[in-house]
């Protein structure tokens, strides 16, 4: 979670320029995908443990 906060905080600085907005969109999409994949892996390992 610390990594997410580290990425989210500086992203606010990029809001002023258009390239920054693109960067934020790409970053948030990547974080979302990563988090979802991690949840799937966690769920799978929990299912296997049962």
Buried b (16+ CB within 10 A) or exposed e, 6-27: eeeeebeeeeeeeeeeeebeeb
**Residue 7: partners with Cβ closer than 8 Å, 6 or more residues away:** 27, 31
Categorize the per-residue pLDDT at 15 as very low, low, confident or very high, splitting at 50, 70 and 90. low
Categorize the per-residue pLDDT at 7 as very low, low, confident or very high, splitting at 50, 70 and 90. low
Q: What is the pLDDT of residue 22?
A: 65
Q: What is the pLDDT of residue 26?
A: 78
| pTM exceeds 0.75, yes or no | no
């Amino acid at each position: 979670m610390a990594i997410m906060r580290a990425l989210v905080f500086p992203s606010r600085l990029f809001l002023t320029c258009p390239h920054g907005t693109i960067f934020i969109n790409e970053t948030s999409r990547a974080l979302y995908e990563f988090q979802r994949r991690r949840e799937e892996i966690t769920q799978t390992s929990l299912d296997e443990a049962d």
